[in-house]
Amino acid sequence: MYAATTLINPATLANDDLSATYLENSREITDFRLVDHSGEPFDNADLQGQWTLLFFGFTHCPDICPMTLAELSRVHAMLEDEGRGDNVRTVFVTVDPARDTPERLEAYVTNFRDDFRGVTGALDDIDVLARDMGIAHIRHDEEGGTDYAVDHGASVLLVNPDGRFQAMFGSPHRAPEIVEDLKTIVDFHGSS
């Protein structure tokens, strides 16, 4: 009886148990090609093998980006304190490649953690990944200058070790909630 009900009704992870939005059927991510802050290629293969927290933003952002990266730094510290930090990484993808050079990204992301990875590329290539992850952004530079803002989606996105979009953490971002959800999701996938 147990085997029959387990095979017929496999375990599921209820969104009611999470602050995050969990995608029961993870989504494939369209092939993309970008570059990281070290000048190394960054593509779909780089999203495999570990859990990845993706955040889209820009280095001139006055509030949500630095606050989110600070919270994600706390997430890593909390996971490490529990001996669970080895299988999660954070990637910051710029939506402002005109100003966010690899050098600028490196200085920015490593200010939060040495192991954070900044990613850039041509805007059309960034948009391939942003669209798949449900991230909209719009640049406000009506005057054509270099001092402009970029509105962008503020969700932190979780990619599973198979390189598929698995969950979304809405704002405001709070490290303790993200950590608890991450542990629940990772444990669920470890046992399923």
Per-residue pLDDT tens for 36-75? 999 999 999 999 999 999 999 999 999 999 999 999 999 9
* Residue 8: band (very low, low, confident or very high) from pLDDT cuts 50, 70, 90: very low
Q: Tell me what pLDDT residue 138 has.
A: 86
User: Which among 55, 57, 51, 8 is positioned nearest to 26, based on CA atoms?
Assistant: 51
CA-to-CA distance for 132 and 30, rounded, in angstroms? 7
Q: State the Cα angle at 142 between 136 and 146, rounded to 5°.
A: 85
| pLDDT of residue 1 exceeding 60 | no
CA-to-CA distance for 59 and 76, rounded, in angstroms? 21
**Is 136 within 8 Å of 153 (Cβ atoms)?**
yes
Q: What distance lies between CA 64 and its chain's CA centroid?
A: 14
Domains and CATH numbers, the chain: 20-140+148-191 (3.40.30.10)
Q: What distance lies between CA 102 and its chain's CA centroid?
A: 18
Q: Tell me what pLDDT residue 37 has.
A: 97
| pLDDT of residue 7 exceeding 90 | no
For tokens 């991450």, name the residue.
Answer: 182
Per-residue pLDDT tens for 80-135? 999 998 999 999 999 999 999 999 999 999 999 999 999 999 999 999 999 999 99
Q: Tell me what pLDDT residue 139 has.
A: 85
Q: What distance lies between CA 86 and its chain's CA centroid?
A: 16
* Residue 4: band (very low, low, confident or very high) from pLDDT cuts 50, 70, 90: very low
* Residue 11: band (very low, low, confident or very high) from pLDDT cuts 50, 70, 90: low
Which tokens belong to 80? Answer: 């490490």
Which tokens belong to 52? Answer: 């990845």
Which tokens belong to 90? Answer: 């954070």
pTM of the predicted structure, to 2 decimals: 0.89
Per-residue pLDDT tens for 132-170? 999 998 888 767 667 788 888 899 999 999 999 999 999
User: Which among 131, 119, 132 is positioned nearest to 165, based on CA atoms?
Assistant: 132
For tokens 């590329």, name the residue.
Answer: 121
CA-to-CA distance for 97 and 190, rounded, in angstroms? 37
Q: Tell me what pLDDT residue 174 has.
A: 95
